[in-house]
Structure 1
Amino acid sequence: MEAKSDKGIILMNLGSPDSTAVPDVKRYLNEFLMDKRVIDYPYLFRLLLIKGIIVPRRAPKSAEAYQSIWWDEGSPLIVLTKQLQNAVQHDLAMPVEVSMRYGNPSQEEAFEKLLKQNPSLKEVILLPLYPHYAMSSYETAVEHAKAVHKKKGYAFKLNIVPPYYNEPDYINALAESMRPYVEQEYDHLLFSYHGVPERHIRKGDITGKHCMQVADCCHVDSPAHEFCYRHQVHITSELVAEKLKIPREKWSVTFQSRLGREEWLKPYTAATLEELPKKGVKRLLVACPAFVSDCLETLEEIAVEGKHSFISNGGDSFTMIPCMNVHPLWVQAVVKWMTALS
């Protein structure tokens, strides 16, 4: 459809280096890891830790990892997000742009593209491509967009879509994207979510007395759940497993991508992949619902490193279920939400 509207849409994802060259990866990691909502240490300590130790050591290894999954068209995350943009745009009259929390295209660039199409723009609907609320993902994306909006003094209203971890259209799209895989023979399904420090969960508890303090806190009603990543990923997993009729003993939840030595959400994906074959799990499926688009954390950390770990410890078959990417039901869900907000 031709995009003519006084409203616009921005699909906001995490981001990626501009290339696999070490300087580009280093630039990206500095921006990402210096974010106070990702590593929430005091600024000077964070500066010394990130720019003095972590990034110089991590950048060359990360560059190699990116090289192993990079597509001819560029970063898979960027390419897939733009494919989602095109698919959604096809069914909407409102213009649709893409922004990244880190790297390019920037939030300001996305705002300016919408304004160029319509200088009389009245409202921008921002859809963070993070289904779950976490300080280091959804929150930092939203707060960054708000900060750019305020700094530039834009006249248009910014309308932000809340987390949709339990929204029926999202659950349906996620489940149906997984269905062809769970209809095959397998022993176990692992829901592997990006991890966060346990400290972040406690810090985000608006009650100050619930998260990781109450027994089975994720299933005891509390206002804290609105901002609790741990609660939300468990709910997503339970709803998807229920929709796919997967017995409770045949699936579990783990957390990947741990950084540093402090305690992160458990159980850890890496350790679980080593242990499962010893428990008789020989055919494994892994889904990564924290991401709607495949990226380094799915294509390399899970599909390559995770598979190697599982197989080398006695597993027979390992299948990473792709993210929703541009699955028709996911595109339909986004179009439905945007239409309802327009």
Structure 2
Amino acid sequence: MNDQVRDQLKRPLRDLRISITDRCNFRCRYCMPEEIFGANYSFLPSDKILSFEEIERLSSIFVSLGVKKLRITGGEPLLRRDIAVLIEMLSSIDGVEDIAMTTNGSLLKKHAKALAKAGLSRVSISLDSLNEERFLAMNGNRGKVKSVLEGIEKASEAGLQVKINMVVKKGVNEQDIIPMARYFKERNHPLRFIEYMDVGNSNGWRLDDVISKKEILHQVNSFSPIEPLAPNYEGEVATRYRYVEGGEEIGVISSVTDSFCSSCTRARISAEGKLYTCLFASDGTDLRHLLRSGLSDDEIAESIRNVWQHRSDRYSDERTSGTSSERQSKVEMSHIGG
């Protein structure tokens, strides 16, 4: 075992990402291409998806193993009925310090106030362009920029911390880097640029489609000079910066050109209860089966601990231009969230 892999195995488990549905009201080119996830696509039946009580129990077990932060993802999490009830259940777990959600924002206007009241702290909202035509091209011709922007403002008004996630793909929306930077600088909402990644097997990823962190920062700096910021915490995946004039924050998530495998502290649970130790994993551990087999919390915790301590994921470190065709069994992004 080389030193880098050995160091990775020592990383604590601090951040749990929970997908609560595999359904989405968009068909984003990034993770749910319409030609694959069309109207007749068979999503998980309700009895295969973890119940709120099972999610609460698993979350409590993960907190006992050191997790401090929970993030609710999808699919689109706001499609799950009574989502505020789940947030309230999770916020009552002793030891949880932060509950966040990743959403496309299209339904956020309706739910923001109730989510904040239930205990949600933060939302990360996916928005790849302010241009309606390019926005529709990226999300499968569904939704409106206006509805997402309204959701952002309602979330802010409700007291939620707001971040914007923009996936940048060459030949599609790189011309939107500066307009997005300008718009959210003016509104003091942190913007995260995300290098286009080979999530799952269905988005047709090519290395040539990637706009690198270096290129993104060059564009932003030409709009308004920036300077680096220290990480908020160990294992933070975004490299943070602030504008010299004004101090507003931006960041870049660069798993393609500047990987961060060795500092990863994140585990992911899919909607049907499989544990994945990497966003690019091929296989997961079936926690739903353990939950429904009558095992105690301690027994389930021991199984999780064993999986985490023996993980050896280094996909972003090992990625090559031919990776997408070499490895066809990665879990889909739409299945486990970001």
Q: Compute the TM-score of the two structures, normalised by the length of structure 1.
A: 0.30
Higher radius of gyration, 1 or 2: 1
